[in-house]
Structure 1
Amino acid sequence: MSGRPKEYDDDAVIDAAMQVFWSNGYEACSTQELCERTGLGRGSLYHAFGSKQHLYEMALRRYQERAIQTQAGTLSTPGSAKDKLRALLQWGMDDDLDPANRRSCMALFSAMERSSKDPAIDRINRAYVDQLEAALRHVIETGQRTGELRADQPPAQVTRAFLASYYGLRILGQSMPDRAFLQDVVEGTLAAL
């Protein structure tokens, strides 16, 4: 005799939980809100996903999978290295300034909120940054080889400086949502390349 059939879709539950965690962060997210948004009762939620922590890890991975697809896709479009890097910065700025969706990058927020407290979240966030760094490094190495970008600094150093500017832009997009200010950050970042 088999058990009662599952009446929910794991992917839909993870997507719903991702929206809650993305809006509230981990600490401010209540089990009650997770239950309301996923449509599962507390017992079903914990039976299916084990804990709030495990559900958060799954939701964070889902967010990061989608984000890296978008970012790597932006970096692999036709055009010059600077065009690709500008497109990524512009995408981040536009995303953060979207009036219909005023919330920060979930990956960035999780790094600030949880990475120093939780080794599992730290590993997930490091793997994500490593993927983004690899995609950026490819663009930067190509730009250095073609002479479009300065080649007087090692590609790893240039890539990491760009990453710092990119994440700084994302934080400023939340704390200083002024398009002209942020556009200056974009232009300054690109001028340094």
Structure 2
Amino acid sequence: MGRPKQFDPDVAVEQAMEVFWRKGYAGTTPQDLVDALGIGKGSLYNTFGSKHALFEKALRRYRDSQAVALVEMLERPGPVKVRLRRTLEFLVEMDLADPDRRGCMAVNAAAELAGTDETATELVQRMLDRTEDAFRALIEEGQRSGEIAPERDPAALGSLLLNTVVGLRLTARVAEGPERLTRVIDAVIESL
């Protein structure tokens, strides 16, 4: 009879997510994961199968937690443009406060693995789709409330906002301060 697992796989996925987020997929070694999770290599492979399988679980965990948090922020009560500004400012503040300047794990995975890793590409694409849909829904709400002109294309504005977030999250990784990022947020809100 095998020994019982000495760790919680859900906690291990969360810990692995932090490692992959900080170091990227290629930069993370199995030893990095073993060290972070406090388990042996045998337990790592017996539980998750491979480094890549654990990465997929970590990316799903990130997608589920981050996409839900973003949608919740956008769905709060209040004027649409105020909610949008607060959400964008929150992302910038969060990224600038991170001492590791990790940015967005999904954006990082897209930059590192798109076109070479079908599963990671699909996971990131679904997260981007969900985010873009949330922005489109926010624009449509703003059109119904009269905050955004009804002739504007909600799908195009949703895409613009998605790309704004991607750009903000990448720029925040190297920004010396919030000034450039704040200008982008101001310009985007004014453009609506």
Give the TM-score taking structure 1 as reference length. 0.95
- Give the counterpart letter for 2:28 in structure 1: C
1:101 is displaced (CA, Å) by: 4.7
Identity of aligned residues (%): 36
User: For this pair of structures, how many residues does the alignment match?
Assistant: 192
Distance 1:151 1:165 in 2: 21
In 2, the alpha carbon distance for the partners of 1:102 and 1:172 equals 10
Give the aligned residue type for 1:80. Answer: P
2:29 counterpart letter in structure 1: S
Does 1:138 find its partner at 2:151? no
Residues 79-118 of structure 1: pairs in structure 2 closer than 5 A = 79-118=78-117
Shift of 1:150: 2.3
Q: Pairwise mapping of residues 31-180 of structure 1 onto structure 2 (< 5 A)? A: 31-180=30-179
Distance 2:13 2:34 in 1: 12
Output the CA distance in 2 between the equivalents of 1:172 and 1:28.
Answer: 21
> How far apart, in 2, do the equivalents of 1:99 and 1:47 lie?
33
SS at match of 1:175: coil
- Do the aligned residues in 1 keep the contact of 2:80 with 2:147 (CA within 8 Å)? yes
99 and 154 in structure 1: CA distance in 2 versus 1, 3 angstrom threshold: closer
User: Does the 8 Å CA contact 2:22/2:100 hold for their aligned counterparts?
Assistant: no
Distance (Å, rounded) in 2 between the aligned partners of 1:99 and 1:107: 16
Q: What is the Cα deviation at residue 11 of structure 1?
A: 0.6
1:138-158 deviation digits (Å, cap 9, x = unpaired): 111010122101222211011
RMSD: 1.3
Gaps of 5+ in 1: none
